[in-house]
Structures are given as C-alpha cells and as structure tokens.
Amino acid sequence: MSVPLYEIATARAGDKGNLNTISVVARDPRWYPVLLGELTPERVRAELGERFRGPVTVHRMDNVHALILVCARASDDTVTTSLYLDAHGKTLAAELLGMEVAGVPEPL
C-alpha cells in the first residue's frame, strides 16, 4: 500500500550553518522498515533536491524507530544568508512528510 509519509511518521527538523537535519520517527514500530526502504539518500535528494548541494546522509536510530537525515547545502547558503523564502529546516520536514511511500502493511 502507498500512503503519504505523514500517515506513518512524524518529523522534526533543525538547521545549523549550512546543514539541515530532519528526524523522521515511525508512528508504529512496524512501519520502521518502510522508512528504511524509502528514505534513502537518493530518494530524499529527489524529493528535496533543489535545496541541497552536498551529500545527504541517513543515520539509523533503531532503538527509537527513527532516521536522522543530514542534508548539506551550499557553503554560502545558511539560514541567515539564504535567498529562499523560508530557509528553515521545519519547512523541509513538512515537505518531506508529503512524499508518497510504498510497502506500508495494511491496515494502518
């Protein structure tokens, strides 16, 4: 089954300098494998790509069924210097939660 990410996870984000971090936490432990399969660096870059110039790194937090996504922006694109309308990580977390993810076991 395919659903928007927000149906199976929550997200929080922050930023420091030219790094954005997005924490994605499964709402139920049985959905954690879906996060592992769907939130790859390539998929996150495809979803939010125009904002990132450097690597996207995914860190697993198996004990709390969460992933930490560390996304590098250009060195001169920081929260206080960005030309984007809203350069803050919380906007990126909200955008990421709208992506469709597959492989969700039924029922929700």
**Cα dihedral across residues 36, 17, 90, 96: positive or negative:** negative
Structural domains of the chain in order of their starting residue, each with its CATH number: 3-101 (3.30.70)
Helices (H) and strands (E) in the chain, counts: 3, 6
Q: Which residue has the higher pLDDT, 56 or 76?
A: 56
Residue 108 has pLDDT above 90, yes or no: no
Residue 73 has pLDDT above 80, yes or no: no
Count Cβ atoms below 10 Å from residue 85 Cβ, excluding itself: 6
Q: What is the mean pLDDT of residues 29-53?
A: 91
Cβ burial 47-59 (10 Å sphere, 16+ → b, else e): bbeebbeeebebe
| pLDDT (0 to 100) of residue 7 | 97
